[in-house]
Every structure is written in C-alpha cells, then in structure tokens.
Structure 1
Amino acid sequence: MGDSMVAAGAVGWLLVGVLAGAPEPRVVSALEKVRPEALPKGEKQARLSLARGECEGVQVVLPPGASRVQAAPLTLSGPGKPLAAHLWREAFLDVKTASNSQGGTGLWPDPLVPVETPSGDKKAPTVLYVELCAPEAQRPGTYRGALKLKADGAAVAAVPFTAEVQPFALPATSSLPNSFGVSLYSIAKGHGVKPESPEAQGLLRDYVTALLTHRVSAHGMSMNPPPVRFDDGGAQVDFRAYDAEVSSFLEGTALPSGARFTTLDVRDSKAARTDAEKAAYYRALAAHAKEKGWRAQLFFYAKDEPKPEDVALVRTQALRVRASGKDVPVLVTAPLDESLRDSADILAPTLNCFFPRPGPQTCRNVVPLQTLRGKLAPQVKVWWYQSCNSHGCTGGAAEDASVEKAYSGWASYMVDHPAPLNRAMGPLAFLTGVDGELYFDTVFAYNTKDPWTDLFEFGGNGDGTFFYPGTPSRPGFTSHQPVLSLRLKHLRDGLEDYEYLRLLESLGEKTFAQEAVRRLVRSGYDVQRDVRQWEQVRQEMTARLRQRWEAVEEAKRSGVRSK
C-alpha cells in the first residue's frame, strides 16, 4: 500500500508540472559551467557511464525564476544493488576581478549547497549537480531511474536517468601520488570555532575525508608533531595522538572503498634541537610508518619556494633529513637550480616550468620533463604544482598582450576558468609521466576573508581554496560542515581520467591511450576546451577498455576451463 501511494504521489507531481506548463529541466554536461547570461540548451534525459569504483556527475538546469527547488531521492535500479544519487544545488560566486583574460567578472558556479537552499537571485538559473558513484563490487549493467523535482512547490517534468556501469574497475586509491594542504587552524577560523575544540577536530576529519573521497591526499592537518624525548642518542616518540589523527587515512578504514593516502608529510618537531636529535626523530617517524605498513610516499617539505637567500637553509634541512637514512625524501619546490639540485629527492617546479612556449616565460628555468630527468640523479622524483605563475599573480588581463598570452591557456583550478582547465591536471600527468602533484592549500581563504563572497587570492579566484565553510548562518546547516566546490569535482574527474589512461596502458593499449590524451591536452597551456571532444574521447576510451577487459576476463575463464 505504501509503494502504491508513493507511485500515485509521483504521478501527481508529474501531472501538476505538465498541466501548469512548468519549465522543462535540461541536462547539461558536468564539463560546462552554467552561468546566468549563457544558458546551454541541454538534453531532456541524462545518460552516464561509469566504471566500478568511479563517480560521475551531470547537471540538471532549471531556467531562472524559482527561489526554492525540492528533489525527491533519486535511485537507479538495474541488475545489481540500486544506485543512490547525491544531489547538490550549485551556488554562485560573484567574481569582482577576473583571474585573467580567460576568466571574467559576474556570477560563476562553484559552491555545492543542499538542493533546498533558497536561491538568493531569481534571475539566476537553478543548477543541480547530480552524482552517481558505483562501488567496486557493483554489478555491471544498465540502471534506470527518474529525477522528480518541484520548483516553488509546483512539480516539473521528471528527468529520466540512465547509467551504464562498466565491467572494468578503477582503484580506490589514486595511482598518481598527490598531496594537497589543509589546516586545522584555517578551518577553525573559517567556522568560528576554537582549534582545540572537539568540534574543530571533527571538522578537520570531515575535510580530510572529503578530500580522500575525491582521490586527494592531505598534508598539514593539525600540524602537531608527535611528542618526543631523547634518550642515549635515540628518539622516544609517543605516536598515540598522531596515529589517532592519520592512521585511518593511511590504512584504508576512513572510507568504505578502502581508499588510502598516497603521501605522508613529515612534521618537524621543535623538541628536536640538534642535528643528531632531528635525525633520530626523522628515523623514528620513518620506522613507525614502516612498522604500521603505511604504503604512502613519505616526504619532508623543505622551505617553500626558496629564494636565493634560503638556499643555505634548504641544504641544511636536506643534510639533517638524510642523516636519518634514505627513508624520508626531501621535497623542494623550485625549478631546476644548480644550488639546490643535490638537496632534492623530490623536485617540484610549478606547472609552467615544464612547457616552453613562444613569448615571455613565466618560470626562470623552463625545462621539459624528460630533459629535466636527464639532469637529475635517477632516483630523484619529479612532481609539479600550480601557482599564480600560470594564471598571473595580479588579477585581470595584463596590459601587454604578449604577457597576457604567457599567462593564458594553462590548466587551472580557478573558479572563473572553463571546466576543462579545472580537469586537465590528471590527463597532463599521464601525457608527461610526472611522478606526483602538490598543492599548497585547500582552505587558504578561510584565513583572510569570507569565502562565500570573495575567493580572490594571489591574482586568481580560488587559488588555494577548494571548500566553503558550511555554518548555521550560511548556508543554514544545523551543524558545521565543509561545503564542496564544483572545482573539487573537476579535480576528481581529472584523476579518474588518469586512471582510465593508465588502465588502458596496462591492458596493452599504450598507443591508443597516448593518442587519446593528446586529443584532450597537448601541453600545460594547450588544453582542449570543446566539451564534446572530451566526452567523445571518454566514450572511446570506455569502449576500448570494455573490449580489452572482457577479452582478458574471457581468457581467464578459458584458462580455467582448459585446466
């Protein structure tokens, strides 16, 4: 009886919308940023394809006019366990200063708030971000459902959803090591709570869990090193509080998927005063990580972006760390520099240091990755990171056209840049073969301003910030929690692109994968912006992966039968 009543209610919802002539929702690719002044036409139904172990999003757009939208829970039924969708409404950030000529002022979608959060502007469209995630154990096949919506109490036409869960699976943990900063103290300031409070500690865990859910590993966190005392040349370290903070993220118990951090930063301790004490402390940290079975890449973050006057400090830091053995690599964020070459076990220049281009250079020493590897010792790894050296450090378009061109086209995490640029780092990592990605912060603006009204930092909108502080005052939560951004979804999608390409290569399709990635990214500053091209390449990769996966599985079955 309950099911029939629900069905009748759903039909009634739909009929009211049709009879009232309510606006029809349209489905738009997640790779388009929907802005008030340029509404895309879209489709009448949503079609998604996702691997086991993957999340895929799509946007549902309602024209301007509605102040409040409600959505019935969306569940897709198929051959396996039903797929339950996650839904958010895209709020807008009012950009006052463009990041550069690729950006622009005005309203840009970015914060992902609860669907029923009232819109502050009836002139803006209602854009829903709808996400489906298939667990690794999900049974492949076709799943169907319908999204039912109300706008200001009136039902609108349902949106049919079809999702094809592929037979191949992506690993839960990113295959590309990465490390993005997050700070307990910034989080506490953004939420207006005390850093030492249980509420702040819980928020830190929520933020880090959100990052890991999007295939991102965190560094910084509470920043508290484990207590240590020194005894007969050895370090006696109390790891209890440290383990309580980090262990679940390193052991695969923080998420049902079993995802783990790919990296682990070494926190320096003021208690270690001499070189010998520091070496003993680093040695104890490395031994603890090994004993725990943590497979994350350890690293010591040396002085960030060292200036010439910092060279002596970085060299000293490297010597101290290396005195502990070879288990803690030293990460140096600098272009290739003769004075620092021997200090780096992981060299991390900015993205623009890898790709020479005509006109002014925005890195003092531009060296393509393969050339750079030839200049480094074989064991040295190469990471990269984004900075304002890509989008420009002052904001707005440069007066000199050649300078503006030098800062344009780069892969970018800025709010007012096209979604393909937000997504490009994963494919670029596969194209070049870089060993990892670093990013300095994900909550930086919490320290300086209200992120809900302004994310302009270091010449870009969103530089160093991927979250918004969700509080009882905005957007009106009953408790504090992180609000995700559209850009975090694009970052995750790029890392999933990396997994697709890597899986193709592992299945003997290296040439196909290389040709596919070059249709998306040709260099760090030459990124395909045509959404249709991105979708076409993804469809072709999916088809080839499915073909190869099924052939491998059939070969396995044939081998079993022959035995």
Structure 2
Amino acid sequence: MGAGWAWVVMAALAATPEPRVVSPLVKVRPGSAFASRPVARLSVARGECEGTQVVLPDSARRLKVKPLLLGGPSDALHADIWRVGYLDVEVPSNSEGDVGPWPDALLPLGAPERDDAPPRPVVLYVEVCAKEDQTPGTYQGRLRASFNKLEHVSVPFTVEVQPFALPATSSLATSFGISLYSIARGHELAPESPEARELLRDYARVLLEHRVSAHGMSMTPPSVRFEGDTPIIDWSDYDAEMAPFLDGSLLASGARFTTSDVRDSRKADTEERKVAWYRAFAEHYRTKGWPTQLFFYAKDEPKPEDVPLVLAQSRRVRAAGGSRVLITTPMEEPLASAADILAPTLNCFFPRPGPQTCRAVHTLAQMREQLPEGTRIWWYQSCNSHGCDGGPSQKRAQERSYSGWASYMVDHPAVLNRAMGLLAFTSGVDGELYFDTVFAYNTKHDVWTDVFEFGGNGDGTLFYPGTPGRLGGFRHHPVASLRLKHLRDGLEDYEYLRLLSALGDEAFAKDAARKLVRSGWDIRRDAREWAQVRQLVTARLRQRWLASEFAKRPGRHTPKSTP
C-alpha cells in the first residue's frame, strides 16, 4: 500500500529548484500541480516493496545518483532507483486520459540522455523492499544526487519496517500472459536463441517479483511420442523452463507462480490421445509436488460459432482430471457450466446506469448462486474498461459507461492502475487474468513511442524492450513500467486486508477498502485519501499482529496463503 504521506505543500512542477518527494499515486506530468514534501517517509511490511518519487528540477542533466542505503536495527535496506521515462500519447484512451507526455517506463540510471529530447520532468522512482526476516524498526539514510556537474541535492529517507509480514507468494491467483516470440521480436532476437530464452526468464522473473504469475511463456509443449494412446513424454526442457517458477527456487523469498497453463501438443491428434495428454500433464504436476493451480485456457472470448469447440475442450480436460478449464465468457449458458474457472470481464460484475458494456451483468454473489459448487470465478480487464475505439466517445452516455473503471492504461490515473487488489478483496473474486504483458512487441515498430492497442495506451503491454541500442550496454533486459509497480502495490493492498481479516478484523478491513473502492467504476482519486486509509490499516494491523500467535512463532510468519 502507499506510504503514510502527510501532504503539506502544493507546488507546480519546476516551481522550486529543491527536490520534492511525491506520492507514487501521482503521475507527474509537465506543468502539473502536485502535493509534495522535502523528506521521504515510507512504511513497509516485512516481505513488501514500497516506492516513492523524487522530483528534481526540470533543468537537471547529466544526472548521477549515489547508492541509497538505510541503516537501522539490522542489515541495511538497499533502495533500487530508476529514472522515469515518458510516453507521448497521441490518442487518449478515453476522457480519463489526455494527449501529451505521460510517465511510465522505469529507466536504468545509466540510460543515455538525449540532448535533443523535449523538456520533461526529471523524476526518480525509489523503491525499498524489506525481506520477510527483516528486523522491524526505523531505518534512515539520504538520497544524494548531482546534476549539471555542479548542483548537488540530498533527500532524507526514513523507512519504518513493520512487525507484520506478507507472504512471498500472492494469496490471490493471477495469470498474466507473456510470450517468448513477442519478446524476441521486440528485442530483435531469434526466438530459438539462448539469449531470447534467457530473456524470457528475466521477464517472467520480474513478473514474479511483482507478485504476478504468467501463462504462455515459451508456449513449447514437452516432447512426446505416443505408443498407441499412451504418451511417452520427455519433460526435461519443460522443467528447465518452468520448475524455478513453480517450486520457489527462483527468488530468495521462495515466491512461486500461483497458476500455470496446460500446453497443447499437435501430436495429441485424437480424442483419446488428447485426454491422455492432459492427464499426463496433471500427473506430472502432482509428482513434482507443485501446488500451483493448473488450468487449461480454452479458446479465448469464444464467439457463438466457437461454442462446440470450447465444450469439446472442456469435456476432454474434465475427463483427464487434475486441471481446471478456464473460459473467458460472461455468465451465460452453455459455457458457464463448462467452466471450472469462469472469467468474465471486470465490467460484467458491476451494474451501472446508462449503456451496459457487458451483455450479461451479474454480481459475484449471483454468479456463485448459479454456478456449480467449486467453480472458481476470476475476472480480467479488457478494452471495455476504457472503450475499444480510442479517444473519448462522442456519445456522452456511452463515454460515461466506459469511464471510471480500474485500468492499466498509461494515461489513466495511478489509483485506477492500482485498484484491482482492493476490488478483489471487497468482492471476494478468486483470481485475476490478463491476456498479455508484451503485446505491442509483436505489433508496433517502436514500443517506446507507441503502445496503443484496442483503443487504449498500454492495453496488453506492461513492459518496454531494454535493448543495447536503446539503453546502452551489451545486454538485453526488460524495462518495467510504473503501471506494473501500481499493479504490485494493489496486490500488496490485498495482502494487508486479507491478513487483517485472518487476524480477526474482517469488518474493519472491508470498511477500509470500501472507503476507496465502491465498485469497479467508482474509485476514489485523491492520493491523500489512499494514504489515510493506509495509515489506519497499518496501525490496526500492527496492533492485531503484535497480539497474535504469528508474532510469537519462530518459523512461519504469515497465515496460510496458497490460493
């Protein structure tokens, strides 16, 4: 959740040469007014990451930033620091957005500065992560930077590490798409090259570091031959790719994917072989002891003519057992009953006045009443959250229907980028799906200047390709976005409230969340309100934690979190 800000100063961008600390829930744009303060104060749970922004004078060039270490009662906290890059939006996603520069890409500090670049705010994104075993208490340090060869600035940082801990693996099931082939195209690499495959792992690692699980990946099925209808499978390449994400060995925290998708094989070319293939997939996961939710992603957003195919897919997977059938459709028959994971768009859960943006709107409670017991319900954002045509609709009522929704668009407010976690908690939904995180890599000539897809800026794209030609150096790497940070913060919001509920204060947790999100389209915009709720929840959680059994246990630090 956001830092415990106590905003006291309203300033226009570049109105002062002094560095200013700005809430991560503010998108700093040229000429914008924003609340700021001269010092940074962050609150972070053990097992949590928390960011803030430091705005420097517009004239700052040739920027050099010293490492930020914060000393305290145990090992020092190390801060990661990026320079915020800007995307020039030509067509707004809808009336929530606007043309012009919007902050998004998080650039390495050593990335080259273009001398001919138009004036932009100079913003540092500073992030502190506390390990689960970090000693609680106060940590302090100073961010020191120099620019224009002569000017030096120093910003005091104080981080309060709370006694309570968040689980390393997300308690909410997630599955966000990623593709080796799109990554290779965006970085101009051969997809079969070792460099591209290592880069895929780097991208998926960044997702996992942000509490997000991935589907797709290389999309290559395990090698198989059939003896009659029995599959003889070589799992070695598949396990080399996927095991680190499923067994908790990739990150020091032990975080793992909450979900994983079954990969089809063309060699499973009969009804009997398909069932045997799916059964073998599930059995392999059981043998490995991977606790992830294994699912089969049926044909995406099926049209009426696709219904027979999806029903056949469901029948085969259910006959095999061991994995769930995910269908992206509203609450409509016959597909709803064929789903073990039903995934409508976000708009299908929340009625609102005016034209509807989902053809079958049902509350979560209504869906659970109609679906077979045990059916999981996920949701996902689509262009229905902003309009699929790009730009504000000329029809006022229609534009209102597409406005206000939680959204991952570049040119939408940060609170809309972050709201999905709170919405998941207040609604009780079981998981979140998102179709892609690198979609524009496969469709755009230059992702750094254009991520406009499906009527929105950034729809399906949460990364930028960090190529040597763009950022210098000799190595390709993923460049995360501010939106990915907001998404991660939203999942941490979910953990705060879930933990508070587990400690016996569910009513307080739900009341706090509803102060900020009343529905998928009614979300409070003021960063100060989010900060105030953060402070209340943190204080209550701290109190509950210190009185709980978890504070006294030398081993496990958090309630069970496996989705």
**1:41 Cα deviation after fit:** 4.5
Q: 1:405 matched to which residue of 2? A: 400
1:396 is paired with a residue whose SS is coil
Counterparts of 2:211 and 2:306 in 1: how far apart (Å)?
A: 33
Counterparts of 2:550 and 2:281 in 1: how far apart (Å)?
A: 46
Contact 1:68 1:151 in 2 (8 A): yes
Say whether residues 1:442 and 2:452 are aligned partners. no
Contact 1:68 1:116 in 2 (8 A): no
Measured at CA, do residues 343 and 128 of structure 1 come closer, stay the same or move farther in structure 2, by a change above 3 Å? same
Counterparts of 1:311 and 1:553 in 2: how far apart (Å)?
A: 51
Q: 2:384 matched to which residue of 1? A: 389
Contact 1:248 1:254 in 2 (8 A): yes
Contact 1:26 1:41 in 2 (8 A): no
The 10-residue stretch of structure 1 (492-501 or 471-480) with the greater mean CA deviation from structure 2? 471-480
Task: Tell me the alpha carbon deviations over residues 338-361 of structure 1, each in whole angstroms, 9 at most, x when there is no partner.
Answer: 121221111000000000000000
Task: Tell me the alpha carbon deviations over residues 101-158 of structure 1, each in whole angstroms, 9 at most, x when there is no partner.
Answer: 0001100000000124344436211100000000001000000000001112223330
User: Which residue among 39, 45, 53 is the counterpart of 1:51?
Assistant: 45
**1:243 Cα deviation after fit:** 0.2
Say whether residues 1:482 and 2:502 are aligned partners. no
Counterparts of 1:197 and 1:171 in 2: how far apart (Å)?
A: 35
Q: 1:101 matched to which residue of 2? A: 95
User: Which residue among 359, 372, 378 is the counterpart of 1:377?
Assistant: 372
2:34 is paired with a residue whose SS is coil
**1:66 Cα deviation after fit:** 1.9
2:176 is paired with a residue whose SS is strand
User: Which residue among 86, 94, 101 is the counterpart of 2:80?
Assistant: 86
**1:191 Cα deviation after fit:** 0.2
2:153 is paired with a residue whose SS is coil
Counterparts of 1:341 and 1:74 in 2: how far apart (Å)?
A: 52
Contact 1:217 1:262 in 2 (8 A): yes
User: Which residue among 125, 143, 161 is the counterpart of 1:129?
Assistant: 125
Q: 1:76 matched to which residue of 2? A: 70
1:244 is paired with a residue whose SS is helix
User: Which residue among 408, 417, 423 is the counterpart of 1:428?
Assistant: 423
Counterparts of 1:268 and 1:226 in 2: how far apart (Å)?
A: 9
Contact 1:24 1:156 in 2 (8 A): no
Task: Give the TM-score, by structure 1 length.
Answer: 0.94
Say whether residues 1:507 and 2:523 are aligned partners. no
Counterparts of 2:550 and 2:523 in 1: how far apart (Å)?
A: 37
Counterparts of 1:531 and 1:552 in 2: how far apart (Å)?
A: 31
Say whether residues 1:34 and 2:7 are aligned partners. no
Counterparts of 2:475 and 2:315 in 1: how far apart (Å)?
A: 46
User: Which residue among 195, 220, 225 is the counterpart of 2:216?
Assistant: 220
Counterparts of 1:124 and 1:334 in 2: how far apart (Å)?
A: 42
Task: Tell me the alpha carbon deviations over residues 65-112 of structure 1, each in whole angstroms, 9 at most, x when there is no partner.
Answer: 123211000000000100010000000000000000000110000000
Counterparts of 1:342 and 1:509 in 2: how far apart (Å)?
A: 35
Counterparts of 1:65 and 1:35 in 2: how far apart (Å)?
A: 15
Query: Larger Rg: 1 or 2?
Result: 1
Counterparts of 2:237 and 2:35 in 1: how far apart (Å)?
A: 53
Counterparts of 1:532 and 1:124 in 2: how far apart (Å)?
A: 25
Q: How does 1:315-394 map to 2 (within 5 A)?
A: 315-325=311-321, 327-394=322-389
Q: 2:19 matched to which residue of 1? A: 25
Q: 1:534 matched to which residue of 2? A: 530
Q: 1:498 matched to which residue of 2? A: 494
Counterparts of 1:555 and 1:166 in 2: how far apart (Å)?
A: 11
Could you say what the CA RMSD is over the residues aligned between the two structures, in angstroms?
1.4
Counterparts of 2:250 and 2:279 in 1: how far apart (Å)?
A: 27
The one-letter code sitting in structure 2 at the alignment partner of 1:46 is A
1:148 is paired with a residue whose SS is strand
Counterparts of 2:95 and 2:199 in 1: how far apart (Å)?
A: 36
Task: Tell me the alpha carbon deviations over residues 247-282 of structure 1, each in whole angstroms, 9 at most, x when there is no partner.
Answer: 000000110110000001000110100110011111
Among the aligned pairs, what percent are the same residue? Answer: 64
Counterparts of 2:336 and 2:165 in 1: how far apart (Å)?
A: 39
Counterparts of 2:271 and 2:224 in 1: how far apart (Å)?
A: 15
Aligned length: 536
Counterparts of 2:113 and 2:398 in 1: how far apart (Å)?
A: 39
Counterparts of 1:510 and 1:423 in 2: how far apart (Å)?
A: 21
Contact 1:52 1:170 in 2 (8 A): yes
The one-letter code sitting in structure 1 at the alignment partner of 2:64 is Q
Counterparts of 1:187 and 1:49 in 2: how far apart (Å)?
A: 35
Task: Tell me the alpha carbon deviations over residues 1-46 of structure 1, each in whole angstroms, 9 at most, x when there is no partner.
Answer: xxxxxxxxxxxxxxxxxxxxx9210000101000012042411000
Counterparts of 1:439 and 1:299 in 2: how far apart (Å)?
A: 14
Q: 2:7 matched to which residue of 1? A: none
Q: 1:552 matched to which residue of 2? A: 548
The one-letter code sitting in structure 1 at the alignment partner of 2:326 is L
**1:63 Cα deviation after fit:** 2.2
Q: How does 1:449-464 map to 2 (within 5 A)?
A: 449=444, 450-464=446-460
Measured at CA, do residues 122 and 492 of structure 1 come closer, stay the same or move farther in structure 2, by a change above 3 Å? same
**1:555 Cα deviation after fit:** 8.6
User: Which residue among 504, 508, 522 is the counterpart of 2:518?
Assistant: 522
Contact 1:45 1:160 in 2 (8 A): yes
The 10-residue stretch of structure 1 (315-324 or 349-358) with the greater mean CA deviation from structure 2? 315-324
Q: 2:188 matched to which residue of 1? A: 192
Measured at CA, do residues 253 and 545 of structure 1 come closer, stay the same or move farther in structure 2, by a change above 3 Å? same
Q: 2:249 matched to which residue of 1? A: 253
Task: Give the TM-score, by structure 2 length.
Answer: 0.94
Contact 2:385 2:405 in 1 (8 A): yes
The one-letter code sitting in structure 2 at the alignment partner of 1:385 is Y
Structure 1: any 5+ residue segments left out of the alignment?
1-21, 558-563
Q: 1:5 matched to which residue of 2? A: none
